[in-house]
Amino acid sequence: MMGEIMKVDRRDAKLALAHIYVAFTALALGGLAGLLQTLVRSGKFNLPAGISYYTILTTHGTLLGLVLTTFFIIGFQFAAISRTAGTLSDRVRFWAWVGFWTMTIGTSTTVFYILTGQASVLYTFYAPLQAHAGFYIGLTLLVVGSWISGFATFAHYARWKKQHPGQASPLLTFMSVTNMVLWLVSTLGVAATVLFQLLPWSLGIVDKVDVLVSRTLFWYFGHPLVYFWLLPAYMVWYVAIPKIIGGKIFSDSLARLAFILFLFLSIPVGFHHQLLEPGIKPFWKFIQVFLTLMVVVPSLMTAFAMFATFEAYGRSKGATGLFGWLRKLPWGDARFFAPFIGMVFFIPAGAGGIINASHQMNQVVHNTIWVTGHFHLTVATTVVLTFFGAAYWLIPHLSGRVMTKAMNRLAIIQTVVWTIGMLFMSGSMHFAGLLGAPRRSAFSTYGNSPQALEWIPYQIAQAVGGTILFIGIILVLVIVVNLAFFAPKGETEFPVAEAAEPQERVALAMDNWKLWIGITVALILIAYTIPFVDMIQNAPPGSKGYKLW
Amino acid sequence: MHMHKYEKIWLVFGIGVLFAFLVIVGVSAFAEGQQPPSCLTTIDPEKVDQTPPFDKPGLVKTGDNEYQLNIVVHAFAFTPNQIEIPKGAKVTINVTTKDVIHGFQVPGTNINMMVEPGYINTLTHTFNKPGEYTILCNEYCGAGHHMMTGRIKVVEK
């Protein structure tokens, strides 16, 4: 990790910032949709002007799950590779802008069809509910744009390798490349179902669709998607946080190994989302449950590395006793505090994930609001708080400004507000889910069924939590706008830590992409070939499209 | 690759616990038959009403204290939606849909299935506690999704 270029080039900064602006616009709109949902579900509020709950739900899921994340991650990664592997070449930057505009046009198209009520199919868009073709075309552009950005990233990495023969790539660049490989391999599934199934079908070129094949291709993508969200958070944890607190990266090679393990193990696992559906033999479901739970291994490595870094730093500052080092951490620094709270939330979130992925326990919670509670801990807390924490140095670094003490204090308050809001909302979602309350449903008492009446107090708690979270969104938007446009001019560091022990030789061996992609493909073929052939050979008659909203 | 001694201990312990967990899940699945619902039977979703047993949906007695409950699901209803089951009965529930994807869930029990066009899904449950249970759809299926409901009454014989 040589810090030869300390400042991201202005032209690259502009590129990264453009992505971040779209991401936070999506947060504003998607967050408002989220607030309205929790209010409707409390049973005390009706949407005005005949707006459908499910239109709002589709807006929320799409803007926050697909748009906020993808744009923030790609913007962050362009800044990261520019910072650690040198300024982008004009050609790479040109294609990165092509990727950005393709994604932005795609997003606008999709959001237009959602808001005009022509695509209330939720962000999972399960066939045979059939959205307007424009919805699928927009999503296709979003994915294709991200591929262009992915290839731009690979081109930049290849140029660095050529200029630095026999050296291990910079850690952040290596991590960004791993995440884009994961993204490209996994989006092949969703691209296949949209291009070959849903688009021809919504345009009326074919009249029937194979629902199970479509779902399987979707979930082949749908789980690695969450690791595409998580890995950039891990980049911040592994590389930026040690520098922010003043420590070192625990082990460069082990960090790389963890990322490669995520690449192997996050893709051949989609069946754990399909445990309760017909058409897949239980044996194959179990294989993918097994592979899913293997992801625990790199997660354990990451947990160890983080806390080892914290403890080593605290002890170097003279901390004593078992937990004395905790007191030495910079609690007043929002760049540390927000991601740290994210890490803490990842402990219950990970435990909930093990429950969801388990062959039998999933039966109890499948499609209940427990699942919604789970991913509001993982994505909407662990990942998002880490992204907020990163934004607090990334945006001023890119905009040539500094975060003031007042803004830092506001960011600390923001994190506390988020924590309280999420404890209310996600906590009550978990409890209501255990009692059987369904996810993705508008307010209903199911004909005054005594069971449904039990869920209502939890739904009111969700609305309280949702309202607090919305205040959190307003606060973060204030900070982001300040850092981008109004904060005092100055230099802000893009923190990149050094490894405690440089391990060039091992790190170099980690750049063996032919081997890593080969193993990934082999695992995918093992997990999917036979059940997929089965699905096609024993396929039922296809389904025509339905527009039931 | 160099690995810290404490990290080795942590990983050996963690991975050990993980494998113990997987063995429990595996034994429960393959030795005790606790598998999630899966039924590889297909059906033409447009001919559900003409295909047995869904041409006559409802509860059928198949043996001593054993029943089959055949339910047709469509937007936005379950047919039938008022079912009376004797306490202690072992009921095999078969469901299929005539249109889009639905869920079939009875909160308070482990009855939870995805219902997908073209497939029959099935699950066996023994109703040991008398009382009223709610049936609901837990997969978004359209504007009336949250109105889909039914009742199972478990009664003393």
Q: Which residues of chain A have pLDDT under 70?
A: 1-5, 503
**Which chain B residue shows the shortest CA-CA distance from A502?**
B2
Distance between CA atoms of residues B137 and A70, nearest Å = 31
The answer to whether the CB of A245 falls within 8 A of the CB of A329 is yes
Question: CB distance from A443 to chain B under 8 Å?
Answer: yes
Nearest to A73 by CA among A140, A20, A15: A20
From residue A410, give the alpha-carbon distance in Å to each of A316, A333, A487, B67, B127.
30, 11, 13, 62, 55
Residues from chain B that touch A501, judged by Cβ atoms under 8 A, are 2
Domain positions in chain B: 1-34, 45-155
Q: For residues A470 and A490, what is the distance between their CA atoms, to the nearest angstrom?
A: 31
**Residues of A labelled catalytic:** 223, 227, 374-376, 439-440
A128: chain B residues, CB-CB within 8 Å: 99-101, 117
- Encoded tokens for A103: 């994604």
Cβ-based contacts of A286 with chain B (< 8 Å):
25-26, 29-30
Instruction: Please name the residue ranges forming H helices in A447-499.
Output: 450-481
Give the burial string for A52-85 (b: 16+ CB within 10 Å, else e): ebbbbbbbbbbbbbbbbbbbbbbbbbbbbbbbbb
In this complex, which of B2, B11, B133 lies closest to A501 when CB atoms are compared? B2
Contact with chain B for residue A297, Cβ under 8 A = yes
> Are residues B10 and A548, on separate chains, in Cβ contact within 8 Å?
no
Element (H, E) at B19: helix B5-30
How far is the alpha carbon of B135 from chain A, nearest alpha carbon, in Å? 9
- Position A504 scores a pLDDT of 72
pLDDT of residue A509: 86
Would the CB atoms of A359 and B7 count as touching at under 8 Å?
no
Instruction: Select the residue of B105, B116, B120 nearest A212 (Cβ to Cβ).
Output: B116
C-alpha to C-alpha distance for A16 and A96, rounded to whole angstroms: 10
Is the bond into A128 cis (omega within 30 degrees of 0)? yes
Whether residues A543 and B117 touch (CB distance < 8 A) is answered with yes
C-alpha distances (whole Å) from B103 to each of A192, A276, A453, B136, B137 are: 25, 10, 20, 7, 4
Q: Are A252 and A174 in contact (CB under 8 A)?
A: no
| pTM, 2 dp | 0.95
Chain A from 239 to 258: CB within 8 A of any B CB: 250-251, 253-254, 257
Nearest CA in chain B to A307: B7
CB A211 within 8 A of CB A127: yes
What is the distance between the alpha carbons of residues A43 and A54, in angstroms, rounded to a whole number?
15
Of B133, B136, B138, which Cα lies nearest the Cα of B152? B133
d(CA A49, CA A321): 61
Contact between A46 and A429 under an 8 Å Cβ cutoff? The reply is: no
Measure the CA–CA gap between A42 and A456, rounded to whole angstroms: 7
Q: Which residues of B touch A285 (CB under 8 A)?
A: 35-36, 38
Q: How far is CA A282 from CA A72, A287, A357, B24, in A?
A: 38, 9, 14, 16
Given an 8 Å threshold on Cβ–Cβ distance, is B107 in contact with A451? yes
Alpha carbon distance A264, A261 (integer Å): 5
DSSP A144-170: HHHHHHHHHHHHHHHHHHHHSTTSPPP
Please tell me the distance in Å from A419's CA to the nearest CA on chain B: 28
3-state secondary structure of B54: coil
Tokens representing A324? 């004395």
Question: Does A304 sit within 8 Å of B10, measured CB to CB?
Answer: yes
pLDDT along chain B (157 residues), means of 10: 86 93 93 88 94 94 94 96 95 96 95 96 94 96 96 92
Interface touch B14/A296, C-beta < 8 Å: yes
**Contact residues on chain B for A219, CB-CB shorter than 8 A:** none
CB contacts of A301 in chain B (<8 Å) are 7, 11
Q: Are A75 and A17 in contact (CB under 8 A)?
A: yes
How many CB atoms within 10 Å of residue A95? Answer: 19
Best A118, A250, A304, A453 member to test B by mutation, with max B CBs in 10 Å, is A304
Spell out which residues of chain A touch residue B144, defining contact as CB-CB under 8 Å.
548
> For A319, phi and psi rounded to 5 degrees?
-70, 145
Interface test with chain B among A52, A360, A458, A533, by most B beta carbons within 10 Å: A360
Q: What is the pLDDT of residue A505?
A: 77
Domain B45-155, CATH among 3.20.10.10, 3.40.50.150, 3.40.50.10190, 2.60.40.420: 2.60.40.420
